[in-house]
Structure 1
């Protein structure tokens, strides 16, 4: 049964990465990395952003429909997003926003038949598909209540059209009838990794950056993020400015599988440069750090294949966890190194006992798209 129901030339993510490959977009950020134990109060009324692997009500996504942004790649990225939505809907419901009636019809047709319900919403308009960055971040408290926060999305520092995307977070909250808080900082959900137990990870490059937060210090930004996430400890690495449109979101390099355990990207040995250095820095930093509860980190290293293009996100880290499965990319298959997929599948099966490991072939999302599964999804936790 079909469960889908109604409910100027841009410097896009792709073009920006091509500039970077030509050496025209910047270099690694300078600064001191390390972890900081902050003395701040937790979020108001006990709200906090929970661990992503806890049960969800649904996953939110956004349908890409802008030829201005995607050009000749539009139909290919739509195919990837449709496959991902169908796969997630094997395990939990999906809410997909679409930019108006006709784009809703396209999304419904291309997604097709699903196990769980996919609800396509054409009243929350969007420019692009990066729901992790444009969407609301959900919080919960101990009383069974939810609310939402947003980070004033500005197109990753005004690199891309975002007039519609900047309103998505608050409109999601309104659609669900939830309270919404706009943060005092500008940024994106992909720029923070949380464990739901007091610890946040982030790269300085996408927060302590004049294209988002001019005049703000790292300490000021940290205090606000800890407050909004209901956390108590922030661990920073330097990150990379100017070599991708996000200024190096950490969710492509490091993620929690549970409090105290992280998976970290290990690039192919032939890969050098600022991103490889940042991955090594995360390993070194977390090897010598403790989390908010004083635990040393259990580090699981996921070895990536060699990227076949400069725009490719050749990383297994940017994944999503659903009710019953971990959804990841078959990047090894795309890069003609399927043995890497087999090894990572086994590592994830051990890290997520009892969950199915799905490895999808998403060549446009991870190739010219320059993003990943985590980038285009946002989980809504059960209260």
Structure 2
């Protein structure tokens, strides 16, 4: 269950001068959206991922400076496959650099809407806005001040993605005092969040910020009444242990949690500790959690050998009418993943994809997507 480190030293902040040139076209470069003050931002709620979507946002942002020549073509094909699978169930809006629009169009086809936007990388879960609604029907996006996972990767362009998306939609961008990524948040839509301490409380993002202050800000912006804190693990991957590789809500009161079966992996002990904490936890409504264990594959032979290969099933994506999940070539484990997801999401189609190139970069399907609630 290793997650992505930066793939080349060229992707570090110190290498920001290596970013590709180009700028947003006039049509695709709306002015920055209004930022609301604290008083105006009250009453917002982040919906559960399983609620109805208006669209899924993705980013066709793989660059050779980060991914290298061997993975560049395959990861772009993986992105197109993910977008194609989701587009069978809901609209997909794919950001792409101006000079790669034609390539993205060839790979993604006419079923995916392309939008010109400068990008550093492809992880839309982390760079895009976290969408929220309120009880009066208003919608907005939250900008969590993306800083390249604590300054580990060049991010000048990706730091502007949340504002650009909100501007295109004509929605306000809500300012936050926190620095974090969407992959570090998991919510049930009913007041409960699961968050890893190793990511959100890391001094490379929020120095001096404790749990109480973090919880107050998440309540203000996302409607969170209770945070279940998991320790995660810092410094092992670029994300410092994102929640969406460890635990995911199926619905309020039900969580799918990953389990690493490799005793030599650092995640072996981490995932067991997480299971203990989740089984002992109660949500914002006082319910004990029903924890469904989803073990990772045990005999993966990835099509792209890489020690950072992210062979975990928990990073699935829930869209309208379907769950998009990985398969890793371990027949028994792939089938077990499919069976568990079918049982937990009986009204949705289960679609499994080969996303080995994305996984070789240390990420998964959920990492490449960001849902826009209906």
Partner of 1:152: 145
Contact 1:42 1:232 (C-alpha < 8 Å) held by counterparts: no
State the 1:65 CA deviation: 3.8
Contact 1:65 1:103 (C-alpha < 8 Å) held by counterparts: no
Q: 1:194-244, CA deviations, whole angstroms, 9 ceiling, x for partnerless residues?
A: 111000111111111121112222322222123221110011121111100
Partner of 2:256: 263
Partner of 1:26: none
Partner of 1:5: none
Partner of 1:216: 209
Partner of 2:353: 360
Moved more, 70-79 or 239-248: 70-79
Within the candidate set 194, 205, 225, 1:232 is matched to 225
Structure 1: gaps (5+ residues): 1-10, 17-40
1:125 and 1:254 map into 2 onto residues whose CA distance is 31
Structure 2: gaps (5+ residues): 10-37
Residue 92 (structure 1) aligned with residue 90 (structure 2): yes
Contact 2:43 2:220 (C-alpha < 8 Å) held by counterparts: no
Q: How does 1:185-224 map to 2 (within 5 A)?
A: 185-224=178-217
1:263 and 1:283 map into 2 onto residues whose CA distance is 10
Partner of 1:61: 58
2:317 and 2:151 map into 1 onto residues whose CA distance is 27
What is the TM-score of this pair, normalised by structure 1?
Answer: 0.84
Partner of 1:22: none
Q: 1:252-294, CA deviations, whole angstroms, 9 ceiling, x for partnerless residues?
A: 01000111101010112x3444322221122101111110001
2:268 and 2:5 map into 1 onto residues whose CA distance is 23
Partner of 1:293: 285
Change in 2 beyond 3 A, CA 1:71/1:12: farther
Contact 1:43 1:230 (C-alpha < 8 Å) held by counterparts: no
**Secondary structure in structure 1 of the residue aligned to 2:45:** coil
Q: How does 1:242-261 map to 2 (within 5 A)?
A: 242-261=235-254
**Secondary structure in structure 1 of the residue aligned to 2:293:** strand
Within the candidate set 268, 273, 276, 1:276 is matched to 268
Give the count of matched residue pairs.
337
State the 1:152 CA deviation: 0.4
Moved more, 155-164 or 69-78: 69-78
Q: 1:35-93, CA deviations, whole angstroms, 9 ceiling, x for partnerless residues?
A: xxxxxx99934210001001100000000242211121211110110111011001100
RMSD of Structure 2 on Structure 1 (CA) = 1.8
1:82 and 1:271 map into 2 onto residues whose CA distance is 35
Residue 346 (structure 1) aligned with residue 330 (structure 2): no
2:80 and 2:355 map into 1 onto residues whose CA distance is 10
2:351 and 2:315 map into 1 onto residues whose CA distance is 13
Within the candidate set 49, 61, 80, 1:82 is matched to 80
**Secondary structure in structure 1 of the residue aligned to 2:145:** coil
Within the candidate set 287, 290, 313, 1:316 is matched to 313
Q: How does 1:176-187 map to 2 (within 5 A)?
A: 176-187=169-180
Partner of 1:302: 294
Residue 174 (structure 1) aligned with residue 171 (structure 2): no
Partner of 1:37: none
Q: How does 1:24-63 map to 2 (within 5 A)?
A: 44-63=41-60
Change in 2 beyond 3 A, CA 1:12/1:256: closer
State the 1:131 CA deviation: 0.3
What is the TM-score of this pair, normalised by structure 2?
Answer: 0.86
Contact 1:208 1:217 (C-alpha < 8 Å) held by counterparts: yes
2:40 and 2:327 map into 1 onto residues whose CA distance is 38
**Secondary structure in structure 1 of the residue aligned to 2:346:** coil
**Secondary structure in structure 2 of the residue aligned to 1:46:** coil
